[in-house]
Chain A
Amino acid sequence: MTGAQDRQSGVSLPGGGDTPAVELRGVSFAYRPGVPVLSGVSLSADPGEFVAIAGPNGGGKTTLLRLVLGLERPLVGEVRVFGRPAGSRSRDRQIGYLPQRARLGGDAPVTVREIVSAGRLAPAGVTGPLRRRDREAVDRAIGRVGLEERASAPLRTLSGGLQQRALIAKALAGEPALLVLDEPTTGVDAESQESLGVLLEELRRELGVTILYVSHEFGAVEHVVRRLVLVRGGILFDGLPGDLPGVWHDPSHRH
């Protein structure tokens, strides 16, 4: 398999065809008038692609992600997800989203299975108990991240790396076509970061899920990701991580 084929992967992709999974065309955005966060951003990710979006804090990468999620609307330009305007709801093209420092409610203990089940809300509906099909999807998601043994454990008794895995399982429970992660390595030790990268690549290969991975440092996924986008107000770089000019290189990177 050549590199190019490998990048697109051979899996049957939800949607398929020529429609990009994520497409931004000439997008500009500002929270306050006169202070642009992003200007003239065009970016396209194919179904089944694993894209790492890096850049300095305040460079607009989280904003870019919020535009894709439909949580913000572009001032200029267009954002489409699987061919539809971002933010429009689609039952067959779920988005799994891991917010930054995932806010996990208050102080009450929440188990791994409870948090993952919450990720099954959109397909399962909000009323009544989970049906068998939905319970199976929850079990599959927990198995995917290797937390079967800890399914009944309260989340707070798990290490940072395992908590992050539980949250990925939550995002997977809805069987998403697009998985969006915002700074997923915060509070996760180096070893768990490596295995997080491996897990994500496994999900991409086996489930054909498109992954947008946003982080100010990309050491965790550098060895698995084939496309790196550097964002600072606009797109500074878009290509193989190895082709990144040395001056922009992530100092936290380890060989």
Chain B
Amino acid sequence: MLDLEFMRLAFAAGAVVGVLAPAVGFFLVERRQALIGDGLGHVAFAGVAAGILLDVSPVLVALAFAVLGAIVVELLRSRAGAAGDQALALVFYVGIALGVVLVSSGSGLDANILQYLFGSILTVTRSDVWLVVALGIGGLATIGVLYRGLVGAVVDEEGSRVAGVPVDGLNAVVAVLAALTVALSMRVVGILLVAALMVLPVTAASRIAWSLRSTLLLSMAIGVGSVVAGLTIAYYADLAPGGTIVLVAAGAYVATVSAKR
């Protein structure tokens, strides 16, 4: 399996996303914003459509769109006093509507866009992998350096704000990291399943972990394990890789629920 160049690239890109997605998802789940990945996925969809239409890198345009969407959600949540899910719904629908309009205004777009909706990890190129690795490591390094700050802002937002912690800045970092993760995960599991890789490993880990730190580390292990196992199963059983990866992650969640009983 690993003699094949496309499988080696798939494992490399998948491993990075498998670690990054739960690491970022951890902070979203703890803030009860588990579904933000879905919302940003829809915004990224508009970005992919725009990228294909304008003949620029769809991943980079999707990244820019998702970052913008994430910042808008965060501003609406903290400034305008809109409830978190209403802010999310607004960005969610604008994204999907814009994507539909852009797709229908182009020609020959439809086949291409499916790669991003459902993932196409077996077609990632060498330059795709470099982009995923570079940005993925950047994202993980950011979490490593700001770990205590991000945890404080999530665990007790108001108490931290009163103490003078730059909570708004830390929330913005999480928003941008979420956007980055969505854009990088599109090719691996697809826009429709991006959020699953951010949420399922975290909820699985939180059932068996004994601290925040162990939850984070376990979720990263479950994430990368799901990608490796999912890709392997997909290769031998000739299944869709994105869906198989997420089903393995869902299996991990079910396993931790029954292990706890």
Contact among B30, B159, B203, B215 for A170, CB-based, below 8 A: B159
Q: C-beta contact mask, B81-125 vs A, less than 8 Å → 1, else 0?
A: 000000000000000000000000000000000000000000000
Asked if A79 lies at the interface with its beta carbon under 8 angstroms from chain B, I say no
A154 at the B interface (CB under 8 A):
yes
Q: Would you call A108 and B30 a contact (CB within 8 A)?
A: yes
A158 CB → nearest B CB, Å:
14
Other-chain contact of A154, B150, B164, B211 (Cβ < 8 Å): B211
B151 within 8 A of A: yes
Q: Could you tell me if A109 and B149 are in contact, using CB atoms closer than 8 angstroms? A: no
Contact of B157 among A70, A103, A176 (CB under 8 A): A103
- Would you call A108 and B148 a contact (CB within 8 A)? no
Question: Does more than half of chain A's interface fall in helix, strand or loop, or is it mixed?
Answer: loop
| B160, A118: Cβ atoms closer than 8 Å | yes
Residue of A nearest to B149 (CB): A126
Interface size class of B (residues with CB under 8 A): 35 or more
Q: Are A95 and B163 in contact (CB under 8 A)?
A: yes
Number of interface residues of A (CB under 8 A): 43
Interface residues in A114-129 by Cβ distance below 8 A to B read 114-115, 117-119, 121-122, 124-129
- CB within 8 Å of B: which of A167-199? 170-171, 174, 176, 180
Once the chains bind, are A109 and B30 in contact (CB under 8 Å)?
Answer: no
Please tell me if the beta carbons of B211 and A118 are within 8 angstroms of each other in the complex.
no
Q: Check: A98 CB closer than 8 A to any chain B CB.
A: yes
Spell out A's residues near B (CB within 8 Å): 69-71, 89-91, 94-99, 102-111, 114-115, 117-119, 121-122, 124-130, 152, 154, 170-171, 174, 176, 180
Q: List 17 A-B contacts (CB under 8 A).
A: A69-B162, A70-B162, A71-B158, A96-B163, A99-B158, A103-B157, A104-B156, A105-B32, A105-B154, A106-B206, A107-B206, A108-B202, A109-B206, A109-B214, A118-B152, A130-B148, A154-B210
- Chain B interface (Cβ < 8 Å from any Cβ of A): 26, 29-32, 145-146, 148-152, 154-166, 170, 202-203, 205-206, 209-215
Q: Which 9 A-B pairs have the closest CB atoms?
A: A126-B149, A108-B206, A122-B163, A118-B152, A105-B30, A106-B30, A108-B215, A121-B152, A97-B162
